[in-house]
Structure 1
Amino acid sequence: MHRLIPSRYSDSGTVLSELADDDEVLEKLIRLDGATNDRVQGEQSGLVGISTYELVYGIPNAHIIRAAYLHPSPTGSRFNDSTRGAWYAADKLETSLDEVGYHKAKRLAEIVVPDSPDGVPLSESSTYDDWLADFHADFHALEPATDYAACLAAEPVPECYAESQKLAVRLLKTQSNGISYPSVRRKGGRCLACFRPALVYQPRRDKRYEISFRWERRRYKREVHEVPIG
């Protein structure tokens, strides 16, 4: 499945990697940092959210997996709150582009640019890497979608996440692996919110894309182009 990540995060692990000779030492350093660093404590929660013992180490691209769970949005996302992240992915690249594109355009439209004709940025471009991962577990499926309308509300964001976050909390308490659900931003698309870091199998970077937004007729028009990595 596809997960788009800003390219600047693809190669960045923790700075503690430079102090560790192997993954066992790195794991101990991260746990020590989590016990003494207020920022890390807030992200990992310790008592709530996610424990360092749930995280993965010693596998290729483990830092990419950890980041998904340790750096949730302050308001959370559809199926996670601010105390614990999740690995969100989509069945197809097009679905992932629509999901990411919606939120990127929304954030741009919230920026105030006094000198702009409509008070918003006229254009913006960013590069994203398409990360693929495999999943071999059972997930709760929100089917039929009509029974979960409150959890799949399109707007307003983040207020529309209230019911879906409550559902996620309940499922986490029952040891659920995560949620499979119809894409809210692309008709016919499927998305996954994986609750468990250990279930993100073989994460690997595929292609890089430049996603550009241009303000036209009071809305953002999106363009996507593949670009070289490196």
Structure 2
Amino acid sequence: MRDRFAEAPRPSFRLIPSQFPPIGLFETVTRGADLEAVMELVGWTNDRLVADRIRRLPEAEWVYGAPNSSIVMAAFLHVAPGGMRFNGPDLGAWYAADNLKTAAAEVGHHLRREAVARGVATMARTYRSYSANLAGDYLDIRGEQTLRPDVYDGTSYAASQVLGEEVRSSGGAGILYDSVRLRGGVNIVAHRPRNIRDVVQVDHFEITVSATDRRIDVRKLASRRRPRGNA
């Protein structure tokens, strides 16, 4: 089977819990050495795992000096213990969707899993939405659920993480794939921080899920005054 490549949808969208706001100091940095000092100042290097990931991420890939730089860097340095679909625990990646509906389906799924794990009937969380343009050509595995059933497994990331890390180690931009949570939705994983461009904070949403119901309630919140550096 010959690999296909395609550009990512423009723009793409990502939802991030509002409890993690952007850090303006990242936008003032002009050198990698200064970024190290900023990451130490804000406490990121106090976490041994984060410090290890900083060393794994080539300095040429660090993002700084642009709006929402900290949001991009955080996606690669603050990683779930078991990793995610196309990245292991050693280094993160930027996950995005072709539209906000798909993005909400993805975060809603994980919020529901959290509700089940905590033994609560419902959970609600507020998210910031970001739009971004993703540069590069992405391995396109859309429509390949039959050819790659292990990669599209709804419960195990074992095979998909292997594929994702192979793409990263080969210098690839990332992967374009069908959403497992929303039929017809498209997701992107970007493995190169410098390819994540024009990041703009858009709106705030409250997402509510039930531990026993697949429905996801999404409510757009009234506009808030955004921190300097966000369009």
Q: TM-score range by the shorter chain?
A: 0.7 to 0.9
SS at structure 2 position matched to 1:109: helix
CA contact (8 A) 1:44 1:83 kept: no
1:116 is matched with which residue?
none
**Amino acid of the residue matched to residue 147 of structure 2?**
D
1:2 to 5, 9, 13: 13
CA contact (8 A) 1:44 1:51 kept: no
**Amino acid of the residue matched to residue 213 of structure 1?**
V
SS at structure 1 position matched to 2:19: helix
**Amino acid of the residue matched to residue 77 of structure 2?**
L
1:223 is matched with which residue?
217
Query: 1:22: how far off?
Result: 4.7
**Amino acid of the residue matched to residue 136 of structure 1?**
A
1:148 is matched with which residue?
148
Alpha-carbon distance in structure 2 between the residues aligned to 1:175 and 1:9: 29
TM-score after normalising by structure 1: 0.81
State the structure with bigger RCO (CA 8 A, min sep 6), 1 or 2: 2
| Equivalences for residues 169-184 of structure 1 within 5 A | 169-184=165-180
1:210 is matched with which residue?
206
Change (3 A) 1:131 1:32: closer
**Structure 1 outlier segments of 4+, above 6 Å:** none
CA contact (8 A) 1:2 1:93 kept: yes
2:85 is matched with which residue?
78
Who wins on radius of gyration, i.e. which is larger?
A: 1
SS at structure 1 position matched to 2:37: helix
Alpha-carbon distance in structure 1 between the residues aligned to 2:100 and 2:54: 36
TM-score after normalising by structure 2: 0.81
Percent identity, aligned pairs only? 27
1:164 aligns with 2:172: no
Give the paired residue count: 210
Consecutive unaligned residues of structure 1, counting only runs of 5 or more, are 112-119
Consecutive unaligned residues of structure 2, counting only runs of 5 or more, are 1-11, 225-231
Alpha-carbon distance in structure 1 between the residues aligned to 2:55 and 2:37: 21
Alpha-carbon distance in structure 2 between the residues aligned to 1:173 and 1:122: 41
More helix by share: 1
1:198 aligns with 2:194: yes
After the TM superposition, which of the residue ranges 136-145 and 191-200 deviates more from structure 2? 136-145
Change (3 A) 1:154 1:23: same
